[in-house]
């Protein structure tokens, strides 16, 4: 697969993920626990024929040492890291966390989706390396 084609696949996939997240947010609105949104998003993606891995362990490298214990909320179709949040305000640290997960996993595209916002579009951040 060429790099440009690979990027187009990832971009289309992120659009599908965002569409699924909008549907979940439209149904629930803000105010629930992160786990509820995560499970609902996984279900909505499955309804749309999209494969999702949940709570994927990832090791972080530090000076030749592999440090375990971190988990990526979702990896969608083996291409996109999704970090699910349910807080009142989006924080820059969520993007930093997602960038760390991208580097650790070897993936290049990520989304931070904060279902705690009144309008979901205010809680979406695309992340790429």
Mind listing the domains of the chain with CATH numbers?
3-128 (3.40.1350)
pLDDT in tens, 68-117: 999 999 999 999 999 999 999 999 999 999 999 999 999 999 999 999 99
Q: How far is CA 99 from the centre of its chain?
A: 11
CA distance 100 to 54: 17
pLDDT in tens, 52-63: 999 999 999 999
**pLDDT of amino acid 11:** 84
Query: pTM to 2 decimals?
Result: 0.92
Place of tokens 């690979």: 6
Q: Does the pLDDT at position 8 exceed 90?
A: no
**pLDDT of amino acid 3:** 62
């Amino acid at each position: 697969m060429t790099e440009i084609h690979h990027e187009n696949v990832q971009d289309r996939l992120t659009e599908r993920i965002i569409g699924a997240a909008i549907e979940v947010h439209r149904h629930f609105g803000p105010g629930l626990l992160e786990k509820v949104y995560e499970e609902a998003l996984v279900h909505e993606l499955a309804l749309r024929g999209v494969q999702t891995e949940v709570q994927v362990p990832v090791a972080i490298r530090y000076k030749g040492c592999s440090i375990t214990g971190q988990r990526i909320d979702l990896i969608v179709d083996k291409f996109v890291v999704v970090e699910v949040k349910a807080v009142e305000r989006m924080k820059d640290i969520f993007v930093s966390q997602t960038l760390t997960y991208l580097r650790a996993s070897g993936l290049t595209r990520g989304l931070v989706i904060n279902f705690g916002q009144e309008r979901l579009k205010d809680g979406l951040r695309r992340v790429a390396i």
